Amino acid sequence: MSDRNTTHFGFQEVAEDEKARHVADVFDSVAQRYDLMNDLMSGGLHRLWKAFAIAKSGVRAGARVLDVAGGTGDLALSFARKTGASGQVWLTDINQAMLSRGRDRLCDKGFIVPVARCDAEKLPFPDDYFDCVSVAFGLRNMTHKDQALGEMRRVLRPGGRLLVLEFSQVWKPLAPVYDFYSFKVIPRLGEMITHDAASYQYLAESIRVHPDQEALKLLMERAGLEQVEYFNLALGVVALHRGFKF
């Protein structure tokens, strides 16, 4: 019998040291059509959810911002517009294909920002450096969420805040319809658009094994964040959690 620790990869149990590779395979596969699929799956609502996160960030001109698991750069672009030339926005992701698309998107919009391929569980930044750290739709793919949250807190300066935008637990009366859409419609869209139904099956499953609103709030508090609160969006399909470092 194996003594290796295991973790969730969707509904599967995999060895902890293998999850990152499985997740990398998913995002290598979907990177080219990731933005199109986000628009199709959410009916464009993901743009409003991200705009809400930016509004709650409190980021102003001159701020230092770290976007973790920043993917194709939606949030980093919005933050760069907020911080201006006097600020600093870092775009990071563990997946090179996603990071390259994010870097190219920002360059195309006229923003040259520093990028780093790194693991959220081992951030290569000094303590007490950033005014704001964000992670949008990336936390659920991390193997050790508690360790990643601890790292995000570590690099925040006192008074800084962490924003976690993530799929969460939907309003219960809506759950049957949401389940049908997640497991029947989204994988078919994935097959049509990216020729990869399996990756979108995983993404639907990963939402179901991610901590719900209260459980994630508790995880953030255990990581040392304070005044943690959350805002349900789209009847709980998505939640924005915000916590501070004092």
Instruction: Please report the DSSP string for 1-50 in residue order.
Output: -----EEEETTEEEEHHHHHHHHHHHHHHHGGGHHHHHHHHHTTHHHHHH
Which of 34, 33, 37, 16 has the alpha carbon at shortest distance from 70?
A: 34
Q: How would you classify the pairing of strands 238-244 and 226-233?
A: antiparallel
Mean pLDDT of all residues in 210-238: 97
Answer yes or no: is pLDDT of 9 > 80. no
pTM reported for the whole predicted model:
0.91
Residue 26: predicted pLDDT? 78
pLDDT (tens digit, 9 = 90+) per residue, 155-209?
Answer: 999 999 999 999 999 999 999 999 999 999 999 999 999 888 988 899 899 999 9
Find the farthest-apart pair of alpha carbons in the chain and give their distance in angstroms, rounded.
56
Mean pLDDT of the chain: 93
- Residue 1's pLDDT band, with cuts at 50, 70 and 90, is very low
Distance CA 211, CA 217 (A): 9
In single-letter form, the type of residue at position 148 comes to A
